[in-house]
Amino acid sequence: MFERVKHLEGLLKAELPTSEYVVINSVWLALMGIRVNGDLDLMLSSKLWQSRFSDYPVQQSFGLPGPLEKRVRVHALEGGNYSRMTDAQDNDEAVYHHRVVLEGIPLIEPRLYFQYKMRRLQGYQKTITRLPWWRRHRWLNPGNRKLFSKHAKDSRDVLLLQKYFQAGLPRSGLLATITSAQWGQDQPELGELFLGSGQPGLLS
């Protein structure tokens, strides 16, 4: 299953202690068989940051030093997206208390990834809604293309997640070991991802 995750071999060659980081973001889409392009993203504990990367500013992300520096990205230790847009208060809480280990690979709980994805999508939608109608045309307003591109990608990902969960949670294989709470099935804000949620949809 992990052969679907790009650049994972390069991460493992870096020999970071697996107890001190989690792989985040679209790794979950890859494991669910949803095709993704892009970097591999990590969150590090403060302990690992201080011991291996103390020369890097804690408010900035950076590429993991090595041959895949432009492909394996380390998120900021302070003020990162997950601390701002999920229930995790900081990197340490995410790394130590919201982790799922599959085949020896430490991953962020899918619930937190889904929270991040849905809250970011909501933010994009609010920003677009507030734009005057004449600025909502992505081709006539090049400055907004990035916003509309990110909105389109997140919308697509949510639709693919909804399709994946139409049959319910995985009942066999590696992903069947993940609990419903770790998936976030009991979270009202994530209800629209799961079958029979009855929640109003962001995409409706």
Residue 7 belongs to domain with CATH number: 3.30.460
For residues 19 and 94, state if they share a domain.
Answer: yes
Euclidean distance between CA atoms 30 and 158, whole angstroms: 14
For residues 82 and 7, state if they share a domain.
Answer: yes
Q: pTM for this one?
A: 0.88
Q: Which of 60, 77, 108 marks a domain boundary?
A: 108
Q: Residue 60 in contact with residue 76, Cβ under 8 Å?
A: yes
For residues 24 and 95, state if they share a domain.
Answer: yes
The pLDDT tens digits of the residues spanning 80-90 come to 889 999 999 99
Query: Is residue 198 in some structural domain?
Result: no
Query: Is residue 200 in some structural domain?
Result: no
Q: What is the mean pLDDT of residues 104-108?
A: 95
Phi-psi region of 44 (alpha: psi -120 to 50; beta: other; left: phi over 0): beta
Question: What is the tally of structural domains in the chain?
Answer: 2
For residues 117 and 188, state if they share a domain.
Answer: yes
For residues 19 and 99, state if they share a domain.
Answer: yes
Query: Is residue 99 in some structural domain?
Result: yes
For residues 103 and 6, state if they share a domain.
Answer: yes
Segments in the chain forming alpha helices (H):
8-13, 27-31, 46-52, 81-85, 91-97, 110-130, 145-164, 180-183
For residues 139 and 60, state if they share a domain.
Answer: no
Q: Which of 77, 108, 139 marks a domain boundary?
A: 108
In this predicted structure, which of 42-56, 83-97, 99-113, 141-155 has the lowest mean pLDDT?
Answer: 141-155
Q: Can you give the pLDDT at residue 85?
A: 92
**Residues, the chain:** 204
Query: Is residue 143 in some structural domain?
Result: yes
Parent domain of 141:
110-193
For residues 103 and 141, state if they share a domain.
Answer: no
Q: Can you give the pLDDT at residue 137?
A: 64
Cα-to-chain-centroid distance, residue 177: 20
The residue type at 97: H
Q: Can you give the pLDDT at residue 163?
A: 93
Q: Which of 108, 130, 150 marks a domain boundary?
A: 108
